[in-house]
Amino acid sequence: MNDLIQTVAVYALPVLFAITLHEAAHAYAAKFFGDNTAYSLGRMSLNPIKHIDPFGTIVIPVLLYFATGGAFLFGYAKPVPIEFGRLRKPKRDMAWVALAGPAANFLMALIWTLIIYALAIGNVQEEFFMLMAKAGVLTNLVMLAFNLFPIPPLDGGRVLISWLPNKYAYKFAQIEPYGFFIVMALVLLKVIYTWWMAPVMYVASLLLQLITSPILFFLK
């Protein structure tokens, strides 16, 4: 129980920020490209309560934590409602709306990385803040990589549908009702993490290092 409390304390804010900015970014992008659905429903918001799904964000992760001893965790936020037909150029703009969420997670990972450097520069001794900042980087890289997996309704699936020729895009989109079950099966088989998430997270980490390398230079 103490381990759970400590884990929740460290990850609570990073997870809330990650899911909030991810979903809000989808809403902002949708409005920018012509769909006001999420905006009209109050989902274009940085208020975490607007995006929390009680079952997917709280109940499922806690149950999985106890069921697997913390070895496997999964959860989800309340998806932002988007009517792609209202976008100015639905097939093209679908990709930009989908990419907005992972892009927001990359931005958050960058911010948490800068916080780590700030804590190091300030010689902050409190370990909790460093653990939280590292959790922020990890949480956002995980969300970025997972959501980019190219199966609808994940963001990567939307991007692939947008990029495929119309004939193939239509056929590929037909798997969306089964997409959640396909993804869950691949998660349980550890296919997604090993063959997709780990490489994507590695590349994203390299980009973070490249962007923040000037700071590291001055720290040495």
Catalytic center residues: 23
**Tokens of residue 192, six digits:** 């997604």
Q: What gap in Å lies between CA 57 and CA 90, rounded to an integer?
A: 29
**Tokens of residue 126, six digits:** 């409190």
Q: What gap in Å lies between CA 149 and CA 25, rounded to an integer?
A: 18
Q: What gap in Å lies between CA 104 and CA 209, rounded to an integer?
A: 17
**Tokens of residue 179, six digits:** 């997409």
How far separated are the first and last CA of the chain, in Å rounded?
40
Rg for the chain, CA atoms, rounded: 18
